[in-house]
Amino acid sequence: MPTVGRADELLRLKAHCLSVGIQLTEAATWRLSCGGEVPLTVHEYATTGGVTFRIDDVFVNAPFDEWFCHESRARLDVNGDRFEVHFDDAVFPCEMLPLPGYLDRTNHLGHRVTDTTMSHCDRIRVSPITGCSLDCGFCDFPALRYVRHGADEVLASLDVAKSDENLPARHLLISGGSPGPKHFEWFDSTLTDIIASSGLPTDVMMSPREGGTDHVRRFADAGAQSFSLNLEVFGDHRSGDVMPLKHRRSTPYLAETIRAAVDSVGSDGRVRSLVIVGLDEPADTLAALRFLAELGCEPVLSPFRPARNTRLAMWKPPAENLLIDVYGAAADIVAACGLKLGPRCIPCQHNTLVIPQGIGYYYT
């Protein structure tokens, strides 16, 4: 883990990159793209388009080709055979993480692997649903056609991703769009089959919903090791404006779903919830963190990223200093409840506002 002074430097760098991204020199662009032969990034999800690098145990996903990145003071360059991040007066040698090696592959059923599957750092993410029944303005899934993918298709693509040498996988995240009510039973059966057959430690990220919480126990009994039940926007006015369907159909059931998840898999980092920093008023963001922590749920700070193909694509990203201030207050809130800021998995922190500091953070 980084020393105290080093941690402060890396936190400031990470907050800056999560706010306004990073600039790439021509040399860095040429090296990363192998002379233009491979893509620099894949814009397949609102918070993962960008380049991902590692400094010490700090992972950062930094956008570089969005409209706001020209404001960045961080620069990725090449020095001999290594990459470096230049930030203000500091230079940080870094390791660049590649894209997965299966971007152009199909599974044994003849479907494109990337229809359902993408790897980030040491995690494979699968999406049984493309598109979404909800309409959150910060997410690009609502713009996609709503399509369900069966467990057989997902598992076939997962087999390809598990053999990838670019990004060897330690664990699996089931995420993607939220089902409509008429697909709840299909969704539950599909996730149960994927969890039981994945062959990897599996986390489930899903929206709370009406109709009880029996599915939470069902997923845990199938082998799910943790849950991410995302609050995202807390203040009633902003939530109703930015994510109106989720505000009505999901948020009212958040507390009971978190309680069911804690009962099923325990606390201590196994139940998390994303809070988007930069959409709510800061006071509402901190209120959200207290609400979650008091339920035994570890908050995950997700800085708002104005992403292409979203309704909020031209909203201004949160300022670096705001992120630093929220981070400090958040650390105090979770510590008072005996928790930490999530996620605990160190590589999975690449697009969240947290760095590992001390015992309790880990490689899955």
pLDDT of residue 1: 66
- Whichever domain contains 334, its CATH number is 3.20.20.70
Domain count, the chain: 2
Asked if residue 290 and residue 185 are part of one domain, the reply reads yes
Asked if residue 234 and residue 136 are part of one domain, the reply reads yes
Range of the domain at 200: 113-351
**Mean pLDDT across 146-169:** 98
From 73, 97, 121, the end of a domain falls on 97
Element (H, E) at 24: strand 23-24
From 34, 63, 97, the end of a domain falls on 97
Asked if residue 240 and residue 164 are part of one domain, the reply reads yes
- Contact 284/239 with Cβ under 8 angstroms? no
Asked if residue 126 and residue 82 are part of one domain, the reply reads no
Six-digit token pair at 333?
């809130």
pLDDT of residue 217: 98
CA separation (Å) from 156 to 125, 128, 167, 223, 289? 13, 12, 18, 19, 38
Instruction: Say which residue the tokens 């605990």 belong to.
Output: 344
Distance between CA atoms of 114 and 144, rounded to whole angstroms?
Answer: 14
Asked if residue 182 and residue 72 are part of one domain, the reply reads no
Rounded to the nearest integer, the mean pLDDT of the chain is 96
Asked if residue 118 and residue 10 are part of one domain, the reply reads no
In a domain, 361, yes or no: no
Given a cut of 70, whether residue 251 has pLDDT beyond it is yes
Given a cut of 80, whether residue 4 has pLDDT beyond it is no
Q: What is the pLDDT of residues 117-127, one digit of tens each?
A: 999 999 999 99
Element (H, E) at 282: helix 282-293
From 97, 125, 145, the end of a domain falls on 97
pLDDT band of residue 241 (cuts 50, 70, 90) is very high
pLDDT of residue 2: 74
**Mean pLDDT across 25-43:** 96
Asked if residue 16 and residue 85 are part of one domain, the reply reads yes
**Mean pLDDT across 212-218:** 98
Asked if residue 89 and residue 118 are part of one domain, the reply reads no
In a domain, 147, yes or no: yes
In a domain, 240, yes or no: yes
Q: What is the pLDDT of residues 276-325, one digit of tens each?
A: 999 999 999 999 999 999 999 999 999 999 999 999 999 999 999 999 99
In a domain, 363, yes or no: no
Asked if residue 299 and residue 258 are part of one domain, the reply reads yes
Q: What is the pLDDT of residues 311-341, one digit of tens each?
A: 999 999 999 999 999 999 999 999 999 999 9
In a domain, 356, yes or no: no
- Contact 77/90 with Cβ under 8 angstroms? no
In a domain, 359, yes or no: no
Asked if residue 314 and residue 199 are part of one domain, the reply reads yes
In a domain, 104, yes or no: no
Q: What is the pLDDT of residues 335-364, one digit of tens each?
A: 999 999 999 999 999 999 999 988 889 986
Asked if residue 219 and residue 294 are part of one domain, the reply reads yes
Asked if residue 71 and residue 137 are part of one domain, the reply reads no
N-to-C CA span, the chain = 16
Q: What is the pLDDT of residues 43-55, one digit of tens each?
A: 999 999 999 999 9
Q: What is the pTM of this model?
A: 0.96
In a domain, 103, yes or no: no
Given a cut of 90, whether residue 172 has pLDDT beyond it is yes
